[in-house]
Amino acid sequence: MTGRKLSTVSKILSYQILIILIITAGFAFAGGWQQCLSSALGGMAAFVPNLYFALRIHRSSGKPARKIVNSFYAGESGKLLLTAALFILIFKIPNIEILPLLAGYITALSVFWFALLMR
101 versus 7: which is more confidently predicted?
Answer: 101
pLDDT (tens digit, 9 = 90+) per residue, 8-55?
Answer: 888 889 999 999 999 999 999 998 999 999 999 999 999 999 999 999
pLDDT of 89-98, one tens digit each?
Answer: 999 999 999 9
Give the separation between CA 31 and CA 35, rounded to whole angstroms: 6
Q: Is the pLDDT reported for residue 3 higher than 60?
A: no
> Whole-prediction pTM value?
0.86
Q: Is 1 a residue whose pLDDT tops 60?
A: no
Length of the chain: 119
